[in-house]
Amino acid sequence: MKKINQYACMAIIMLSVLVSCENMMDIHKKYIEDGETVYTVKLDSVKFYAGANKVYLKFWLFNAVNVKTVDLYWDEDSLIIPVTPSAALDSLTVEVPCTEEKSYSFKVRTTDVFGNHSLWSTGFANSYGDFFRQSLVNRSIKNLSDGALAWYPPASNLIRSELRYTKIDQQKNTLNVPAEQTATQCADNADNLFEVRSFFLPEPDAVDTFAVAWEEVRAVWQFPRTGWTVKYCNSWQGMPAETQPVEGTPRLMLDGNFTTFWHSRYATYAAGTNPLDPTVTRDPCPHTLVLDFGQPINIVQIDLYRRLNNNNAQTVIAYVPAVDDNALTDDDIKWLGAVPITYSGHQFFQNYSYPGTPNDHWAELGRVEYANVSNQDTPEKSLQVFITTQNAVSSQYLKLVLPNSRSNANIGLAEIYVLGK
């Protein structure tokens, strides 16, 4: 009797399994009513790259002995690419005619000789055209000094530039300038006239480069500072000594060292002993200095470097004589500018004020404003540039007036360079 019960149980279990399998088949029947789906070999890998009014598809196939085509689809368009069946790993790069400048999404599959398809692969790519091309500008030339052409920092997507000029022997010379190059030697240049064109990639792995048309540029010369002197300065740390290499003397702006600097006097005077004004115990703004170039030069640009990692210097105004250089008087040289200054109950300056005095013997060349940041740790970060409003201004003298400060009238400037044509 016991064995009969065991057989009965086994029969019930087998019947349940058969019923369950039948139910599972019911789930799959609807997917195979038209026959079993056969998939062919999928692309081993696929990548898309940006191009100029096109994109590029690169794909790899492995063990694709029956694959006949690679089928690409995007928007309302498609591209059917014939391939040669092969068992080896093989690749092919194809131009895709996406002429409209925009971002595209793609899906791609393979088809074999029996008409079977693979599963889809997808990807994205950008097509660039006139809109991107019009946003590009040639890399800028900074100056020409001692036969070396200095460049401004490159755009992030610049890959190279070409420089073309006439040599002393009147032969044309064309140089390739990599993006990372900061200066190009061209001592054999016949004059300071150059032609530049630059090449850009819209994306780091884009296939096509975009070139800007040749542009004629006349480089400015960086004048040598040999023979330059500081004709006047109203305040410096270490004064009245002028010839000793003490901290803060204005001539340190001409030593080529960006870690040394002119600094206004920050020592505290005993009451009544300040030679500029007996009512104050520090030297107040405005501060001024006058450079003497030794002879007239044609000024196009002034590069002024603030003291590194310091935000004291704020506004700087540059002037050149509006009269004959020899007509400047001693009062003109010592003139403190036209900007009024007021201190109200200041610890060091009490109620000192300067009204701001017009002086038609000086003409303003320009003014710059330094940012209120103190982490400018390289000369490039601490640079401010004066650009003249004319082709060039001829002058033997240059006056700088600093009407304000972010620290108790303290001012520090590291270097000054003058450029011309």
Residues 168-207 pLDDT 10s: 999 999 999 999 999 999 989 888 889 999 999 999 999 9
Indicate whether 36 pLDDT > 90. no
The domain spans of the chain are 45-129, 136-219, 229-420
In angstroms, rounded to a whole number, what is the distance separating the alpha carbons of residues 49 and 203? 9
Q: Are 105 and 71 in contact (CB under 8 A)?
A: no
pLDDT at 416 over 90: yes
What is the average pLDDT value for the chain, to the nearest integer?
Answer: 89
User: Residue 386 burial (CB < 10 Å; 0-12/13-18/19+)?
Assistant: buried
Sequence-distant (6+) residues with CB within 8 A of 266 are 237, 282, 283, 408, 410
Q: Cα 308 vs. chain centroid, distance in angstroms? A: 20
Confidence class of residue 260 from pLDDT cuts 50, 70 and 90?
very high
Q: Is-same-fold flag (45-129; 136-219)?
A: yes
pLDDT score, position 345:
84
Least confident of 34-38, 340-344, 376-380: 34-38
Q: What whole-number distance in Å separates Cα of residue 399 and Cα of residue 417? A: 13
Are 259 and 385 within 8 A, CB to CB? no
Q: Is the pLDDT of residue 12 over 70?
A: no
Residue 17, pLDDT score = 47
Q: What is the mean pLDDT of residues 207-234?
A: 93
Q: How far apart are CA 121 and CA 118, in angstroms?
A: 9
According to CATH, what is the number of the domain 136-219? 2.60.40
- Of 273 and 130, the structure prediction assigns the larger pLDDT to 130
Backbone dihedral region of 185: left (phi > 0), alpha (psi from -120 to 50 degrees) or beta?
A: beta
Closest CA to 397 of 369, 368, 365: 365
Closest CA to 318 of 413, 390, 387: 387
Residue 22: its pLDDT value, please?
Answer: 53
β-pair type (45-52, 121-128): parallel
Tens digits of residue pLDDT in 86-119: 889 999 999 999 999 999 999 999 999 999 999 9
pLDDT of residue 314: 95
**Which residue carries 């300067």 as its tokens?**
354
In the CATH scheme, what architecture does the domain 45-129 have? Sandwich (2.60)
Q: Let me know: does 152 contact 182? Beta carbons within 8 Å.
A: no
pLDDT digits (tens, 9 = 90+) for 286-339: 999 999 999 999 999 999 999 999 999 999 999 999 999 999 999 999 999 999
Whether the per-residue pLDDT at 33 is higher than 70: the answer is: no
- Specify whether the backbone of 178 is left (phi greater than 0), alpha (psi in -120 to 50) or beta: beta
For the whole model, what pTM was predicted?
Answer: 0.61
What per-residue confidence (pLDDT) applies to 392? 80
Class of the 229-420 domain? mainly beta
pLDDT at 8 over 80: no
The CA distance from 22 to 1, in Å, is 32
* pLDDT over 70 at 57, yes or no: yes
Q: Is the peptide bond before 286 cis (omega within 30 degrees of 0)?
A: yes
Q: Tell me, what amino acid is at 131?
A: F
The pLDDT of 10-19, averaged and rounded, is 52
